Structure 1
Amino acid sequence: MKINNINKLEDEFIWKSKNGLTTKFLGNAAGSEKLYINVDKIMPGFYSCRYHAHSLQEEFFLILKGKGLMRYNGDEYEVSEGDFISKPAGKRNAHQFYNNSDDVFEILDVGSVERDDVCYYPNDNMYLVRENGKPHFFKEENELEDWETDPNE
């Protein structure tokens, strides 16, 4: 066992976007295998990620600092420090955070690591499918809800 410190995290466990979004991969740094544990820092006027849903990955969010909006299944909810949300897996559970304040918005993001998770981006009609860790993107043109694989139907 190794005790880690969020303020002394090695660079390989910190991702920074050009717009100031920062993710600290605490679970990876600690060697977690079945859970991911991240801290996301979102600057004013920016989103946490694209609006998306996971097929298998369950997630839990705790607002550590600041306030913002959580978009969930097309509705927006105000969230602030101390609020926590559990998001079950499933295509109908799309989510995204937005910092609509003038201060830093910080979120603890914990979820299950799902090797075969498919991520759906409803605004873009896109799917992200991972194969051996490599991402593949597919455009959804016409989703068939009632199609069966049974050749005798």
Structure 2
Amino acid sequence: MAMYLSAKEIDALAGVTKQHFLNPRAIRLNKSLGDAVGLKHLGVHLIHVAPGHYSTEYHAHLYEEECLYILAGRGLATLGDHPQAVGPGDFIGCPTNGVAHDLYNDGDAPLTCLVIGQRLDQDVSDYPRQGKRLYRNSGEWNLVDHAAIETLER
């Protein structure tokens, strides 16, 4: 597997259109640069989000960290309850157990970002607007309603 990709090779990579399973308006064209060079524990994706679409559903990871670097276009990042206009050169860091976040293309041109995140075998993600929690465990995904989560006393 290659450990180097030229700009020409990246441009030639076939992008995969992905829609988030909880948000039909979260559609992006994804080029997995990390997969192309054999990274196993770090996801590195070049994404393009069309105007009027989100990159993902509003969420927060409890264990994985992720970040976004805006390369082109304009958008609106929601970080907790705070909307933030973003554009080329802006950086968003999402530490573990941090605030929920999403990214929306409110412009009239594609929004292009580099998205980097951990690939842990286990993670928990909350989707506050959906009232859902996703448990991801070694390839198995379990989605539950927040109301169904029982906290056990130890």
TM-score by length of 1: 0.85
Deviations 1:30-72 (A, max 9, x none): 1102211011111011111110011111112100101111001
Deviation at 1:8, TM superposition (A): 2.2
Q: Please, which of 60, 63, 69 is the counterpart of residue 76 of structure 2?
A: 69
RMSD, aligned CA: 2.0
- The alignment status of 1:82 with 2:89, answered yes or no, reads yes
Letter in 1 for 2:132: M
Letter in 2 for 1:25: S
> Gaps spanning 5+ residues in structure 2: where?
20-24
TM-score by length of 2: 0.84
Give percent identity, aligned residues only.
31
Q: How many residues align?
A: 144
SS of the counterpart of 2:35? helix
Alignment match, 1:6: 10
- The alignment status of 1:16 with 2:23, answered yes or no, reads no
Q: Distance in 1 between matches of 2:137 and 2:43?
A: 19
Q: Please, which of 124, 129, 144 is the counterpart of residue 123 of structure 1?
A: 129
Deviation beyond 3 Å, 4+ runs, structure 1: 17-20
- The alignment status of 1:141 with 2:147, answered yes or no, reads yes
Deviations 1:98-139 (A, max 9, x none): 000111101100111111111110001111112331322111
Q: Distance in 2 between matches of 1:37 and 1:69?
A: 21
Query: Which of the pair is proportionally richer in strand?
Result: 2
> Gaps spanning 5+ residues in structure 1: where?
none
- The alignment status of 1:51 with 2:55, answered yes or no, reads no
